[in-house]
Structure 1
Amino acid sequence: MSFSGKYQLESQEGFVEFMKAVGLPDDLIEKGKDIKSVSEIEQNGDHFKVTVTTGAKVLTNSFTIGRESDIETLTGDKVKAVVNKDGNKLIVVLNKVTSVTELVDGNTLVNTLTLGGLVYKRTSKRLA
């Protein structure tokens, strides 16, 4: 199953607490909590380009499964990380945050970010 496509955020759980924990400023948390971000994924074999647009902020990361890449985090930091694929899941650890992006079916993308005991879950649906 290919991850390629555009997905719009449908629901999220734990946003405010998680963003405070990773150090996002309160004004950005307030602005971001109600924005329906759009994620665009281009998959070509093991190479991925992921662009997430949240209001005026655009975050783009390109990586190849199993190879070290420079990944920009939610706070704008650049870190070296290796993204692994396990079935229909993309798994990466950025600093102390574990991110699991799962293509649940052909139209639903679930991204779960974990930091210690905090969990931030985003569910997005494929746009036609």
Structure 2
Amino acid sequence: MATGDFNKTYTYKSSDNVLGFLKARGVPDDLAAQYAAAKPTLELSKKGDQYTIKRVFADGRSHEVSFELGKEFDETRPNGTTIKSVVVAGEGKQLIQTQKGDKEVKIVYDFNGDDVVSTATITGEGVSAKWVFSRNQ
């Protein structure tokens, strides 16, 4: 993974099937609608072996995960539940996060030039959502 993609901020560009994905994960309808309508900023940073991926929402809420590649860590979801996660380097310029909670979710971050495409899929259900972010200049 190229560190040039980190220590950067990316602006929301588009998304697809976020509401369907959140409902399939069991997120209550009112919260699912709120999250699906959100257009977060994506902040990526790296210091030494420590990576941080942070989504910042317009209302001040945020969701942040900090990790070392290949090491399992506890992740606190926005609803307060704690799950196990691990992030590994994928093919080319990818990071792949696997969340193990009530449903296993795989999130692939593809770094494509000035864009980051984040695709989350519920393992075994085939339900996915996609977010596209563009690097701030």
TM-score norm. by structure 2 comes to: 0.83
Please tell me the residue identity of whatever aligns with 2:85.
A
Distance across 2 between alignment mates of 1:112 and 1:21:
15
Q: CA RMSD in A?
A: 1.6
Which residue matches 2:72? 68
- Who is 2:29 aligned against? 26
What are the Cα deviations for residues 3-57 of structure 1, in whole angstroms up to 9, with x where unaligned? 3111111111111110101122211222222321001010234320111112332
CA distance in 1, matches of 2:56, 2:20: 21
Give the ranges of 4+ consecutive aligned residues of structure 1 lying more than 4 Å apart after TM superposition. Answer: none
Higher strand share: 1
Shift of 1:102: 1.0
Give the alignment of 1:103-114 within 5 angstroms.
103-105=111-113, 107-114=114-121
For structure 1, the residue ranges without an aligned partner over 5 or more in a row are: none
1:89 aligns with 2:94: yes
Report the Cα distance in structure 2 between the residues aligned to 1:12 and 1:76, rounded to whole angstroms: 24
Given the alignment, which residue of 44, 48, 52 partners 1:49?
52
Code of the residue aligned with 1:124 in structure 2: it is F
Question: What CA deviation, in whole Å up to 9, does each residue of 1:64-109 have, x standing for no partner?
Answer: 001111123354422222210123111121121111111111x100
Select 1:78's aligned residue among 73, 78, 82: 82
% of aligned pairs identical? 27
Contact map agreement 1:48 1:64 (CA 8 A) in 2: yes
Unaligned runs of 5+ in 2: none
Which position in structure 2 is the counterpart of 1:126? 135
Distance in 1 between residues matched to 2:11 and 2:89, nearest whole Å? 22
